[in-house]
Chains A and B, each alone.
Chain A
Amino acid sequence: MRAVLNHTSLLPVSSTTTGSASPVPNSYESLEGGSYSGTSLQSPPFGYNYPTMHPAYQQNPAPKPDPSPSHGGYNPPGYQPYSQPFPSLSELSSALGGLGGVSELEAETLRPVNLLQERNILPPKHTPPPEPNLSNDLRKVNCSPDTFRCTLTNIPQTQALLNKARLPLGLLLHPFRDLTQLPVITSNTIVRCRSCRTYINPFVSFLDQRRWKCNLCYRVNDVPDEFMYNPVTRSYGEPHKRPEVQNSTVEFIASSDYMLRPPQPALYLFLLDVSHNAVESGYLNVFCQSLLDNLEKLPGDTRTHIGFVTFDSTVHFYNLQEGLSQPQMLVVSDIDDVFIPTHDSLLVNLKESKELVKDLLNALPGMFTHTRETQSALGPALQAAYKLMSPTGGRVSVFQTQLPTLGAGLLQSREDPNLRSSTKNVQHLGPATDFYKKLALDCSGQQIGVDLFLLSSQYSDLASLACVSKYSAGSVFYYPSFHHIHNTAQRQKFQKDLQRYLTRKIGFEAVMRIRCTKGLSIHTFHGNFFVRSTDLLSLANVNPDSGFAVQMSIEESLADTSLACFQAALLYTSSKGKRRIRVHTLCLPVVSQLSEVFAGADIQAISCLLANMAIDRSISSSLSDARDALVNAVVDCLTAYRANGSNIQPSGLIAPAALRLFPLYVLALLKQKALRTGTSTRLDERVFSMCELKSQPLQQIMHMVHPDLYRIDNMTEQAALHLNDSVIPQPPLLQLTAEKLTREGAFLMDCGSVMYLWVGKCCNETFIRDVLGFPNYASLPSNMTEIPELQTTYSERTRAFISWLLESRTFHPAFHVVKDDASTKTSFFQHLVEDRTESAFSYYEFLLHVQQQMSK
């Protein structure tokens, strides 16, 4: 039994030992302490690690005591010299030892890859997520992986098997995603299981025409009469042809049984900071202009209400009643006990008072230009907003530009700038006060969602402020060093984000429930919501841009089922006041062999779930614990694979093909702003990075963690996509190392929320002229933020490519053209995760470190 306390692990420690890793010491000084200079590695020539390492490695002693001969040579019988991978599939099957009946697909995902030798680990195109091993008709109706994704597409039968695999089991959901095709069911009866209340889904079994068996609790239910008639095909007696049973993502119109009160109208309240700092930054102009442009497009109907509250050291309300000639400002200066000055007409019907609202928005930026107020009473303003909105609920959008210094919820500056690059523990990652959490819970109870826009240049304790959004299902947006003149990139980003934010779909007073097959249970939730009871998530507002994650455990053995199903049901009120239920159902096979578990591992989902777990760990325990646990996750998993696999003792670090990107993604995670140490990171940026990792959907997280790098100055039509008469070139994905950059090229890095176009010093002038519109490299401005629309083929091709990348993106990224000597250059190079920095490993060094840990 190993010493549990010593082994920092994110996953439960198993009590069964199958050659699993021995206790690992808790201190990873060599990992944290910077230069990895204690070994035989000399500092290798930058980017050219691989050829020089092999000879050095050959001299190292065997990692594991080995009964087979050889000391220097590693040539057990039947094993080829390690410079060649396994040549044939049959040898693979025998090497994998007793799999029997392994399918082609599985053999491909289980193909051992020697990570130390494989230089081109990254596939040139995005690989689709792994397909579960189901029959074709089940596969066709299964939920889209963009909506519902599991870390292991083959669910292990027992908790012991899951522990053996040393991989986390969880689901990543994006339930309210914008969908192009959504079947809406308008029938009066919504068929649900009588005991577990699961909605009928494509994976139930019909025992005969009149009875169906629930796939989550196995209870037999009756088919109601109305269900026998199929409105789509106008036929009777075929319940399994109904749209609810043919689609795994459906939306039901909910009857009044699903309402606690009549559906609420859309209510939008904007809380604006108007202190001196805020006016200086100029965000008010951008906001007011953006809202004026999008006033018609705010989701809602004739009952939509809108209101404004501004605050500095006092709180100001605006009476926008229909008959008034101009908006009337009411100031409440008693911030210790904020009260609402009038009972109505602070939140007014948008249609009726539209002119007044427009007048207010036009006047607002000018009203505070000469303000001398430097204090900010955010807490009282939030309390006022709560009082204003509690009767109905809705959405509050808070715009804050500094630390709140007055009234309830005032915060102190906790960051010590000298400790930004500390390699020791990072402090103050959690909230300083429970005021915002309590307020968020109050708001959540009254169905008020609070979204936070932080536009500050100084420390503003985002760790405490973000709580108000986290538990009320809101979103957090952060624009560090926002200024409307000096920082045009941030201003453009703010503008574009506001455009999306104001016009995107929204659901009010929502709850979500995630149900699993009997035997599985959910034990941890990640995302912005409040967990009201064991599996009921209370979301005051639900929006199409937030993702959630849950972790599961296997309570009982799943040996008697071959399929495990998961259902996420989101009950919400649409902006038009209709109560709807969106149901997603996912079905996955259950397996009993460890190798099959590895074959079905979805490495992107695993990395995202591990990121969520690491952030939880860094807040509850410490950042270094979280980092150690991430490294241990890789070590444990690869050790488990090795222990389960063949008896061949190759040198090198062997991983199955399904997991070959695992160390790369974990290394990229360790270099994220949220989790990195040793590089100067402002506390607010770190906390915001953590918030993003916990609340974004999977695709955004993967772009953030492991950006896509393409070379775009020499894109050809080869293998290009032809869509709608435009030719979209498909350059291959490059690995994130400076080795792949060259001075003669131009490279595009897609990081999700920001895009960099790095132009090399000797880039060919045709590219610079035809795409960027400047005659030569030297004339490129240093703060270029968009590609001009020129009529050259190069320009059209490049723009087609970039717009194809952004097609399904909801928030448009900020765009920077990076010259060789610009300030954005640091951010660009920080994303090259495979390279070595003063405080972090290169990819190869990380692999060696993992191997070293595995052999302990």
Chain B
Amino acid sequence: MEAAVFISSLVDCCALIFLSVYFIITLSDLECDYINARSCCSKLNKWVVPEMVAQALATVLMLVSMHWFVFLLNLPVASWDAYRYVKVPMGNMGVYDPTEIHNRGQLKSHMKEAMIKLGFHLLCFFIYLYSMILALIND
């Protein structure tokens, strides 16, 4: 049972890692002028909700299987995702808005956010891997 929980969180975490990398690549493409703001933002906005769902799934899995420490580790990121999604002003075209992305250093802050998430997901990946192996051994 433990092993199953950790295997699914591991898979979930892999998906999140790939998503973070995709975000970083798209944002740096925009920085280097390989794509334009509209296509960049529509690509990224498409994956905002799946990312939020995946993160929420990981958090809930940890909650349900009563691994409190990992749950508390995942909770801030999940709530930050939700907050970011809800706080988008009505006139904006999603979390990533092509008219605002070049203003006020938003591109840099989005890049930083994606990097931090990548680091966090890598950390979680190793935690789940270790716990999964532990659970598999103990079974």
Contacts and interface: CB of A to CB of B under 8 A. Distances in A.
Contacts of A616: 103-104
A432 B91 contact: yes
Contacts of A431: 89-91
A636 to B, nearest CB: 19
Interface stretch (A161-169, A220-228, A523-531): A523-531
A531 B90 contact: no
The 7 closest A-B pairs by CB, nearest first: A431-B91, A531-B102, A434-B93, A430-B91, A533-B33, A430-B89, A524-B103
Contact of A433 (B38, B91, B104): B91
Contacts of B102: 525, 531, 533-534
Interface in A512-532: 523-525, 530-532
Nearest to B99: A471
A463 B89 CA distance: 13
Contacts of B31: 534
Given A434-B90, A441-B99, A464-B91, 10 more contacts: A431-B90, A431-B91, A433-B90, A434-B93, A438-B93, A463-B91, A532-B36, A533-B36, A533-B102, A616-B104
B23 to A, nearest CB: 18
B92 A533 contact: no
A780 B38 CA distance: 58
Contacts of A491: none
Contacts of A463: 91
Given A437-B99, A533-B37, A534-B33, A524 B104 contact: yes
B92 A434 contact: yes
Interface in A412-436: 430-434
Interface of B: 30-31, 33, 36-38, 89-93, 98-99, 102-105
Contact of B38 (A432, A445, A464, A523): A445
A441 B90 contact: no
Contacts of B92: 434, 437
A467 interface: yes
Contacts of B93: 434, 437-438
B104 A523 contact: yes
A625 to B, nearest CB: 14
Nearest to A428: B90
7 contacts: A464-B91, A523-B103, A523-B105, A524-B103, A524-B105, A531-B103, A533-B102
Interface string A457-486: 000000110010001000000000000000
A441 B36 CA distance: 12
Contacts of A620: 89
A618 to B, nearest CB: 12
A855 to B, nearest CB: 32
A441 B99 CA distance: 8
Contacts of B38: 441, 445
B103 A525 contact: yes
A438 B91 CA distance: 10
A430 B103 contact: no
Contacts of A524: 103-105
A325 to B, nearest CB: 45
A822 B90 CA distance: 41
A525 B106 CA distance: 12
Nearest to B103: A524
B37 A532 contact: yes
B36 A432 contact: no
A509 to B, nearest CB: 16
B37 A531 contact: yes
Nearest to B30: A533
A531 B99 contact: yes
A751 to B, nearest CB: 30
Interface in A441-463: 441, 445, 463
Contacts of A433: 90-91
